[in-house]
Chains A and B, each alone.
Chain A
Amino acid sequence: MLKLLKYEFRKGLTSILVMLAITAALEGYFLYGLFSWADDGVHTAIAGMMLLFMTLAVYVFVLVRGVTSYSGELKSRSAYLIFMTPHSTRKIIASKFLFTFVLGVLFGGLYIGLGVVDVGLLLRELGELEEFIEMFREAMQELGIRVDQIAMAAVFTVIYMVLSLLSFFAVAYLAVTLSHTLFRDKSWRWVMAILFYFMINYGIGLINSIFPTAYMSMRFTEAPGVGNLAEAYGIQTAPTFKDLLILVVPQALVSLATIIASFFGCAWMLDKKVSL
């Protein structure tokens, strides 16, 4: 498995280096703007916005790269390299899933790290870090939100988002494999892949609609005193642990089931119907 991962990494190395180079350039631009404070911080603001945009772009890149690379591989002779090796299709597909997941986690870690450092530097440079933290703490107190609630919500949100992203990705793999299996020699099979992708996601959406949505399950915390201030202003506060369970668990399970079903579906099709 590690060797399969190694070659997945090697195949994607150029595009990964390009993304890292763009990120490094933007970070350099941000730091230049911050420390020179040219044009009253306009450069810092532009670089900051671009870095934020880049965070989203990198995630789209990681997912799209994984799927397009797989799709391209199935129709090119280079697929022989992998499928000639004494590895089961399950291992081959698992290595692709895992690589995309690891890449997503690494890029996520990189951008979270950069975000923390950059915001810290910005506030420190402006000499307002402590004031900001104090202001934030007070605002949270006013809303009756405790730190553990925020942390809990953040953890649940991250789990849910990661599973959702992975399930989108897994469905894309399934759609590509399905279209390659059914329409191997047709030039329009990519259209079918897109169609399959939306059809499967529509089906998953129908299943998800059975479960409570964020809006339905959110309710005000029963924090006496300060918590009521939020209620008075009609602001929703952080959900309780029970809220989060009701909200996240069913949809996370659907995502997990989607990932598992897509994984075995891809492996089965490649195993029984593969035609390279």
Chain B
Amino acid sequence: MLEIRKVTRKFGAKYGVRDAELTIEPGHTYALLGPNGSGKTTLMKMIAGLMMPTSGEILLDGVKIGPKTKAKIAYMPTESYFYNYMTIMDAGRYYRDFFRDFSMARYQEILQRMDLNPKDKIAKLSSGMNAKVRLALTLSRDAELLMFDEPLNGVDILTRTQVINEIIRFRAQGRSMIISTHLVEEMDEYIDRVVFMKHGEVALQGIRSELTQEKSLTELYLELYAPPAEPAAAVAVSAAAPAAVAEEVAGDA
């Protein structure tokens, strides 16, 4: 379905993504894991067509990323991206105008479930509420591939549950999803494929059930990313305050 072939994205002399090779198969939920600066957002932006690879290519159903693939990919960026004048309903109308697969009825339904008032101005919403709007817009599209970049970023615990529930609801419909997150434990049971990114490279990838036969995802995460000299300390921090770790790595580049 989605093929990422030797994709590299450079920013000056630095690598955002380096020689990434990945195949996203239909009907699966992928977790894109990695700390701040590991290249998750850069990779997602390239798939969404918001950034061009320096080399390599990305194909969706054999078609290079461009206007045609944008019609099939729904992307939820990690930050707010709305015009200042927009209300929640305006954002829905915008999506309806540009995406044929957008369902206004479903959008309104999700807004209602998440206690969002369509008349509210998006610019005045809290980051959690804003995340809900972005999520509602993305989930209201019948896209082939749904991508969520840090959907739990800046979201409080109560809202987090709502967000996860919404994603699960649509995961059940058998659509392909890529979710980038560092809240490994909270997404653990809902994902079936895992991709770990490190310094812009795909460090480890595979089927979650196979990868986690001996170690949990959190243990794998820490093994890959925690400083080698202080593994015990890192585990202790993670176990005591996972949210704090999440805050620390928020705003992945």
Contacts and interface: CB of A to CB of B under 8 A. Distances in A.
- A is bound by B: yes
Interface of A: 3, 6-7, 10-11, 13-14, 77-81, 83-88, 185, 271-276
B37 interface: no
A77 B52 CA distance: 16
Contacts of A7: 94, 97
A14 B86 CA distance: 13
Nearest to A76: B81
14 contacts: A3-B97, A7-B94, A10-B85, A77-B79, A77-B80, A78-B81, A80-B50, A81-B81, A84-B75, A85-B70, A85-B98, A87-B98, A275-B52, A276-B45
B50 A84 contact: yes
Given A3-B98, A88-B66, A185-B11, A83 B49 contact: yes
A77 B82 CA distance: 8
Given A86-B70, A88-B67, A276-B50, A81 B82 contact: yes
Q: Mostly helix, strand, loop or mixed at chain A's interface?
A: helix
B51 interface: yes
Nearest to A88: B67
Interface of B: 11-12, 45, 48-52, 66-68, 70-71, 75, 77, 79-83, 85, 94, 97-99
A276 B51 contact: yes
B67 A77 contact: no
B67 A80 contact: no
Given A10-B85, A86-B70, A275-B52, A80 B98 contact: no
Nearest to A272: B52
B67 A87 contact: yes
Contact of B49 (A13, A84, A273): A84
Given A7-B97, A274-B50, 12 more contacts: A3-B98, A7-B94, A10-B85, A11-B85, A77-B77, A77-B80, A77-B81, A78-B83, A81-B94, A85-B99, A86-B71, A88-B67
Nearest to B45: A276
Task: Kindly list the 10 A-B residue pairs having the minimum CB-CB distance in the complex, ordered from nearest.
Answer: A86-B71, A77-B81, A80-B81, A85-B98, A86-B70, A276-B50, A86-B67, A3-B97, A88-B67, A275-B51
Contacts of A87: 67, 98
Nearest to B77: A80
Nearest to B78: A77
A185 B11 CA distance: 9
A269 to B, nearest CB: 10
A152 to B, nearest CB: 44
A272 B77 CA distance: 21
Contacts of B77: 77, 80
Question: Which residue, of B12, B71, B98, B99, has the highest number of chain A Cβ atoms within 10 A?
Answer: B98
A11 B83 contact: yes
